[in-house]
Amino acid sequence: MIIGIDLGTTNSLAACFTGEGAEIISNRLGKRLTPSVVAVDGENNILVGETAKEYGLVHPERMAQVFKRSMGSGKKFRLGGREFRADELSSFVLRSLKEDAEAFLGEPVTEAVISVPAYFDDKRRKATRRAGELAGLTVERIISEPTAAAISYGLYEKTKNTRFLVFDLGGGTFDVSILELFQNILEVRAVAGDNYLGGEDFTEILVAEFLEKNGMDADRLSEKEIAKLYREAELAKKQFSEKNEVTLRYPYEGEEKTLSVTLDRYETLCEPLLEKIRRPIQRSLSDAHVRLSEVDEVVLVGGATRLPVVRNFIVKLFRKFPDTTVHPDEAVALGAAVQAAMKERREEVKEVILTDVCSFTLGTEVSVERARGLYESGHFLPIIERNTVIPASRTERVYTLHDNQEIIRVRVLQGESRFAQNNLYLGELEIRVPKKKAGEEAVDITYTYDINSLLEVEVTVVSTGEVKKQIIRGKDNDLTPEEIGERMKELAYLKIPPREQEENRLLLLKGERIYEESTGEERVLLDVWLRAFEDALETRDAGVIGDARRELKERLKEFEEWNQD
């Protein structure tokens, strides 16, 4: 079976398509969301999800999160004396989801449809595919998150033509997409977004306000103190869904620092972020040649859309209430599962044609004439414009610049800047041309781009008909199967604990973290509880361990609730 996976910045989850429709797969802890967090403990155990998050509160230097923002980059994350790229950290999350799916389905899982932000460029999409391969998955398709969300909302089953906007604000990325349904064709008209804007930024707003009002310097706080402050700010932010005023409390240097923030004040603080949201919306509407009034429905995706400040902004902007019929955290995974079912040609899924668009402009570097006979190099020639429906094929003709020029080099670029150096370099190829005077020889450059983000570049010499083709994979964008296998061997030293032990490990880590945050008699009490649970683990009796786990879980829950009052 092919499963659908939403590999998110803050949380990830998997879904499958059964006879009753798309269904979220619960993880080993019985939860639907797996935090996109990875940690390496002192024994080289890889921890993923909630366990890694809890471990990282005590050992932040051994934990990584929000690494999706660095997909496709050269950034390295150092955990436990080892370095990892973002795609490698993502592969651990994907492997965890894969194991949970296998336990849920009772069969091996080797194929998946994985979603990415619509505004992910070629390098990030290929890094996502590589993460899947490192996790032991064949990635059948990379699907844009807004398209997956549209499928899950059942928009592809509507009987009338509909134009809708998908507003996707996750933990670390923001996408806005304009889609249109015509008969059985679901067409993406335009996409825009920001790969560095999400719910984490709305948390950071509270942290910055807290530090300023309390006269504190972030540089003087340890990694552990910063991690705890962000956790408290995240909890306070979520309370805005129920309260018009929240209070952030944080013990520091023997006293409790506090900050009370009203919803009105929070909205004022968030105005710069809301303005950053507004710009991609305007750009997507402009690219799609659609006015705000012509949008029939607004669909919300991503956990950050539950924030009142975000929903109020949407209602004011579009002058209509958004569609919230599907859980915003689950919409993308459910849609990816439906896409997987379509890939398998399941009879239960209504056949629908899905079209996507090229998120960024694809072009090449050329020289342009600035004055008679004077040329300036380094300019960008667009060949396939952004928001062109794909698959697409476009051709541009370029001419030799110098007398007796023998070679034309085609540099393949992706981006929106008119200057080549500001755009993303994907690769290049060269072709020989007959020696003639400048401008007398030409080549036709044809770009063909498909839904799997594969770009074929074909260069044809006009005078001779000679053709040179190349699939552009880009510098550092892909590993060969041999390289992937080699990297998997390099990572083999890492041990991933059996999934059955995860709940016990998580509970112990949570208890240890609460112990560190407590003092005096509270610590004595916590120590007794934790020792009792450790004694139960030593018995290796599943029944005894289960009873002890339930008792400790309840005690820790009551302890935290009592301390929050």
pLDDT category at 24 given cuts 50, 70, 90 is: very high
Of 53, 68, 228, 237, which residue is the catalytic one? 68
SS3 content of the chain, % helix, strand, coil (to 5): 40, 30, 30
Of residues 55 and 254, more confidence is placed in 55
Domain spanning 2-157+272-294: CATH 3.30.420.40:
yes
Q: Which of 385, 29, 389, 338 is nearest to 180 (CA)?
A: 389
Give the chain's mean pLDDT: 87
pLDDT score of 477: 43
In the annotation, is 122 catalytic?
no
The C-alpha atoms of residue 365 and residue 429 are separated, in whole angstroms, by: 12
Q: Which of 193, 99, 138 is nearest to 343 (CA)?
A: 138
Q: What is the pTM for the complete model shown?
A: 0.77
In the annotation, is 6 catalytic?
yes
Q: Which of 136, 135, 150 is nearest to 181 (CA)?
A: 150
DSSP result, 49-72 = THHHHHHHHH-GGGEEESGGGGTT
Share of the chain above pLDDT 90, in %: 47
Q: How far is CA 391 from the centre of its chain?
A: 23
Of residues 348 and 465, more confidence is placed in 465
Sign of CA dihedral 306, 290, 192, 296: positive
460 and 470 Cβ atoms separated by less than 8 Å = no
**Helix, strand or coil, per DSSP, at residue 405:** coil
- Answer whether residue 515 shows pLDDT above 90: no
pLDDT category at 351 given cuts 50, 70, 90 is: low
- Answer whether residue 160 shows pLDDT above 50: yes
Name the CATH superfamily for 362-464: Substrate Binding Domain Of DNAk; Chain A, domain 1 (2.60.34.10)
Q: Which two tokens stand for residue 131?
A: 């993460």
Q: What is the dihedral of CA 63, 125, 172, 221, to 10 degrees?
A: 30
Domain boundaries, the chain: 2-157+272-294, 362-464, 499-564
- Answer whether residue 475 shows pLDDT above 50: no
The C-alpha atoms of residue 364 and residue 565 are separated, in whole angstroms, by: 61
Of 168, 180, 441, 458, which residue is the catalytic one? 168
The single-letter code of the amino acid at 490 is E
**What mean pLDDT comes out for the span 523-543?**
85
Helices and strands in the chain: count of H runs, count of E runs: 14, 27
pLDDT tens digits along 377-426: 999 999 998 888 888 889 999 999 999 999 999 999 998 888 899 888 88
pLDDT score of 492: 54
pLDDT tens digits along 296-318: 889 998 889 999 999 999 999 99
Could you tell me where the DSSP H helices lie in 138-270?
A: 145-152, 199-213, 223-239, 263-269
140 and 5 Cβ atoms separated by less than 8 Å = no
- Answer whether residue 474 shows pLDDT above 50: no
pLDDT tens digits along 61-96: 999 999 998 998 889 999 988 899 999 999 999 999
- Answer whether residue 11 shows pLDDT above 80: yes
pLDDT score of 476: 41
Of 6, 41, 54, 441, which residue is the catalytic one? 6
Of 87, 122, 145, 232, which residue is the catalytic one? 145
**What mean pLDDT comes out for the span 353-373?**
82
The C-alpha atoms of residue 290 and residue 380 are separated, in whole angstroms, by: 27
In the annotation, is 547 catalytic?
no
**What mean pLDDT comes out for the span 122-133?**
90
**Helix, strand or coil, per DSSP, at residue 11:** strand
The single-letter code of the amino acid at 337 is A
- Answer whether residue 352 shows pLDDT above 70: no
Sign of CA dihedral 208, 34, 172, 331: negative
pLDDT category at 156 given cuts 50, 70, 90 is: low
pLDDT tens digits along 483-514: 666 665 666 556 566 655 788 888 888 888 88
Of residues 449 and 433, more confidence is placed in 433
């945050």: which residue's tokens? Answer: 517
- Answer whether residue 157 shows pLDDT above 80: no
In the annotation, is 527 catalytic?
no
- Answer whether residue 346 shows pLDDT above 70: yes
Give the up-direction half-sphere exposure of residue 426: CA atoms within 13 A in the CB hemisphere: 27
